Amino acid sequence: MLLALNIGNTHITFGGYGPEGKLAFFSRLYADTSLSADELTYKLVNMLALYGAHPHEITDVILASVVPALTPRLREALGKMCEARVMEVGPGLKSGVRLRLDDPAQLGGELLCAAVGALRLAAPPLLVLHMDTAATLLAVDAAGSLLGGAILPGPQLSLAALVQNTAQLPQAAAENTPKSVLGTNTAACLQSGIVYGTAAALDGMVRRLRAALAAPDAPVIATGSLPASIRDACEVPIRYEETLVLDGLHAIWRKNRKKA
């Protein structure tokens, strides 16, 4: 079994792939930077058991991370948990995606994996949306090259900053769909703003990125913590794939496994 893991700013997502390349299970943990290697080992072993998997079944591991503080601890945890070979996304691995960026090394591993996963689902040109603490949009041209993108605050980050820096605004959840764009109380106004405001921002950015690609119908493939309420509020159709990053990790592993 291949264990694919992605350490994001909010969650550690992981999944197990069988010999046929089929995803057997998928789960996530909070990316708590205070966790020790032993604590990560304990959590991973118990999460595997929850899905009927055993560490001894793991023959290979592929890892992507945007949280340097957690990467060595997770590597240590994997070493305690199993004897599998660990491949880490970074320089030297083939992804099949040409990076036409000023400094390709600055591209987070999870974003590269999301682009790889998206190209397995749709022909380019296309846009990839990864929602986590930040909302990142990537543009892939007709040749399958990643040209660049845009980063803006994610809805939960925006909401937390707004509530923290104002005296009387209540908490709200981006997951809840507002009854109307016209809020009739403070909580409803906040709900409308965070859901429809985020959707309007995404619609606008998609239009601009499509124009930059000269591809007005480029599909948008999204992953991460993008609530259905915001997806439904967008005018632009968005295809949501929860395991897009892990599927990209699996594809990269298949392309590079002889090097492991």
C-alpha to C-alpha distances, 98 to 11, 45, 104, 241, nearest whole angstrom: 27, 36, 9, 22
Q: State how far the Cα of 238 lies from the Cα of 225, in Å rounded to an integer.
A: 14
CATH code of the domain containing 55:
3.30.420.40
Report field, pTM of the whole predicted structure over 0.95: no
Tell whether 178 and 193 lie within a shared domain.
Answer: yes
Which pair of structure tokens corresponds to residue 248?
């990209």
The parent domain of residue 81 ranges over 2-92+247-259
Secondary structure string (H, E, C) spanning 26-44: EEEEECCCCCCHHHHHHHH
* Helix 109-119 vs helix 244-256: crossing angle, to nearest 10: 90
Bond from prior residue into 91 cis (ω within 30 degrees of 0): no
pLDDT at site 171: 65
Q: What is the pLDDT of residues 207-250, one digit of tens each?
A: 999 999 999 999 999 999 888 999 999 999 999 999 999 999 99
Tell whether 38 and 79 lie within a shared domain.
Answer: yes
Tell whether 162 and 233 lie within a shared domain.
Answer: yes
pLDDT at site 222: 97
Q: What is the pLDDT of residues 45-64, one digit of tens each?
A: 999 999 999 999 999 999 99
Matching residue, tokens 């507002």: 178
Q: Does the residue 114 lie in any domain?
A: no
Tell whether 137 and 234 lie within a shared domain.
Answer: yes
Taking residues 65-90, what's their average pLDDT? 94
Which of 74-83, 121-130, 139-148, 169-178 is predicted with the least confidence, judged by mean pLDDT?
169-178
Which pair of structure tokens corresponds to residue 135?
């909302």
pLDDT at 26 over 80: yes
Count of domains in the chain?
A: 2
Which of 14-23, 105-114, 151-160, 217-226 is predicted with the least confidence, judged by mean pLDDT?
151-160
Report yes or no: 21 and 79 within 8 Å, Cβ to Cβ: no
pLDDT at site 19: 87
In this prediction, residue 260 has a pLDDT band, given cuts at 50, 70 and 90, of: very low
Q: State how far the Cα of 186 lies from the Cα of 199, in Å rounded to an integer.
A: 20
H-helix or E-strand spanning residue 136: strand 134-140
Tell whether 8 and 70 lie within a shared domain.
Answer: yes
Q: Which of 115, 67, 110, 89 is nearest to 260 (CA)?
A: 89
In this prediction, residue 172 has a pLDDT band, given cuts at 50, 70 and 90, of: low
pLDDT at 136 over 70: yes
pLDDT at 203 over 70: yes
Q: Does the residue 106 lie in any domain?
A: no
Report yes or no: 14 and 53 within 8 Å, Cβ to Cβ: no
In this prediction, residue 195 has a pLDDT band, given cuts at 50, 70 and 90, of: very high
Q: Does the residue 103 lie in any domain?
A: no
Tell whether 227 and 134 lie within a shared domain.
Answer: yes
pLDDT at site 68: 93
